Structure 1
Amino acid sequence: MTTPSRSGPVVLITGCSTGFGRELSLVALERGFRVISTARRVETLADLKEKGAETLKLDVTSPPQELADFAKAAWAIYGQIDYLVNNAGYLLGGAMEECTPEETMAQFNTNVFGLINTTNAFLPYFRTRRAGMVVNISSQGGSLNMVGAGIYCATKAAVDSLSDTWARELAEFNVKCISIQPGMFRTAVSAGNLRRGTHRIAEYTAADKVITEYNAATGTEKGDPTKAAVRILDFVTAEGRELPLRLALGDDAFESVKAFHVQRLADMEKFRSWSVGTNFD
């Protein structure tokens, strides 16, 4: 198949075999963007390649030097990358005590350390060019800290925190960063990317109930991933757009994350007298 001629912004997306990564790739290609789609198994990207994407093998948990080599090769394809979309990740379910140390470390290696190392591999190029944007796909769970997904939510809270700091640190280089916090969308996360902690403890009925209900709802989520991909790309690529540090994405995420912050503010005021008054006399 002949690759369509493209001259739009260059977008590199991680974790494109399923879910948001695939949807973002398809929407970006439709918009005429130059797309670099990546996955651990590059053969899963064959249809994206046929549609015009450059496809590369990438495991975000690779050693930093391998990621640096990858960044050099990826940058050389078009001589620039305008948007780095850190989407690769998976969901580890179960009460936190049910997740073994190895499972917990693997979750952080992919969702947090892999994201840090991949981003750091590209930042020298962004800084030198004095342009670019890092778009981190987080989750409403980074704020909500849900029962039955505590380890996963902790990784997404880390992603939110890292994104906030990057946005401030990189501002002097004209490089932007934003964290996207999706709610429930009809993707393959629960069907294919949910991994259950193997150390099952029967007493954790609340966590087990949440996971059972989550799995049962797979395929019925109200969120449309194609609409989400369109919204993300429209938002981050708009000329002159003022970016917040975080963007809750989805009707459910907006209401849930808003309620979280309202409750946090109420708690701070309620216990204000215990917080203040600790300065030297």
Structure 2
Amino acid sequence: MTYDSSRVWFITGASTGFGRAIARAALAAGNRVVATARDTTALADLASDPKVLALHLDVTDQATIDDAVRDALGAFGRIDVLVNNAGYGLRGAIEELDDADLRKQFDTNVFGVLAVTRAVLPTMRQQGSGLILQMSSVGGVTVALGGAAYAGTKFALEGLSEALAAEVAYFGIKVVLVEPGPFRTDFAGRSIRWAEPLAAYEPVLDAERTRFDAQDGQQPGDPDRAAEVILTIADMAEPPLRVPLGPQSFDRIRAALTARLAALDEIEPLARDTSYR
């Protein structure tokens, strides 16, 4: 497989998980990489490569976003691929979710993505080209028990990104939503937080808590193989808007959409005919 090695990749959350795997794959293909993270010490090994610019960026801090984009353009002159990867998961029943924690989840996973995207878009418009890779989730299409907060952010990202794709196509900019299933990243460990549990929800969520926590380090998906797919997508002249990743993602999304179509057919005789008579 050959990849376009002339691009500059700007990656948020590059210290671990998908961000790091994508950064490594892009470098291996000869690209230049702007690797960003809240803690740049975690980028030290990547930064040893002369094709890497390691920068501090907190997606909830506009000043750090603006500084990182400015420094990236100063060093490389362009940004060809934006990977909005930074984020984390908050889990628990809606009644268990603290409002401040829920707002922080949306600030990171939704408003942070929007802030970085808006900061990069002027450059891509001026270039007349660009690719925005939004790291969504199978949880952006279908919701598992305890996943209301995280899925809420990813459902929002899906709708916003679909609209964005239509808005920026005129400027030669592509948008792709990447929808991974379970991959062996920190998502089920360091990058997940549970709300304070309520006893009333024990019979609803206890088994799901146990299942979810037990998958940490056991997920079947290989982030490096996912990164290879993502680099291939980035080389497509007309990439798809949505890219599920892994068999679990395809199976869950297909089941959810099939069930939704069946439910649509079932309710149609009652709810379709609502026009004035």
Q: Which runs of 4+ in 1 moved over 4 A?
A: none
Where 1:204 maps in the other structure, the secondary structure is helix
TM-superposed CA distance for 1:76, in Å, is 2.1
Measure, in 2, the Cα distance between the counterparts of 1:220 and 1:233.
25
Return the letter of the residue paired with 2:266. Answer: K
Give the corresponding residue for 2:75.
Answer: 77
Give the corresponding residue for 1:183.
Answer: 181
Where 1:115 maps in the other structure, the secondary structure is helix
Give the corresponding residue for 1:248.
Answer: 244
Unpaired runs of 5+ residues, structure 1, are 1-5
Q: Which of 266, 274, 280 pairs up with 2:262?
A: 266
Give the corresponding residue for 1:55.
Answer: 54
Where 1:165 maps in the other structure, the secondary structure is helix
What root-mean-square deviation, in Å, do the aligned CA atoms of Structure 1 and Structure 2 show? 1.4
Residue 39 (1) aligns with residue 37 (2): yes
Structure 1 residues 128-139: aligned runs within 5 Å: 128-139=126-137
Measure, in 1, the Cα distance between the counterparts of 2:243 and 2:141.
12
TM-score when normalising by structure 1: 0.93
Measure, in 1, the Cα distance between the counterparts of 2:270 and 2:209.
37
TM-superposed CA distance for 1:274, in Å, is 2.6
Measure, in 2, the Cα distance between the counterparts of 1:101 and 1:252.
31
Structure 1 residues 29-178: aligned runs within 5 Å: 29-52=27-50, 53-63=52-62, 66-178=64-176
Return the letter of the residue paired with 1:62. Answer: D
TM-superposed CA distance for 1:171, in Å, is 0.6
- 1:23–1:226 CA contact under 8 A, matched in 2: yes
Where 1:192 maps in the other structure, the secondary structure is coil
Where 1:189 maps in the other structure, the secondary structure is coil
Q: Which of 194, 197, 221 pairs up with 1:196?
A: 194
Give the corresponding residue for 2:209.
Answer: 211
TM-superposed CA distance for 1:277, in Å, is 1.2
TM-score when normalising by structure 2: 0.94
Return the letter of the residue paired with 2:261. Answer: L
Identity %: 39
Return the letter of the residue paired with 1:279. Answer: S
Measure, in 1, the Cα distance between the counterparts of 2:247 and 2:200.
33
Return the letter of the residue paired with 1:230. Answer: E
Unpaired runs of 5+ residues, structure 2, are none
- 1:93–1:211 CA contact under 8 A, matched in 2: no
Measure, in 2, the Cα distance between the counterparts of 1:81 and 1:169.
19
Where 2:13 maps in the other structure, the secondary structure is coil
Measure, in 2, the Cα distance between the counterparts of 1:36 and 1:69.
12
Return the letter of the residue paired with 1:186. Answer: R
Measure, in 1, the Cα distance between the counterparts of 2:275 and 2:234.
43
Structure 1 residues 13-24: aligned runs within 5 Å: 13-24=11-22
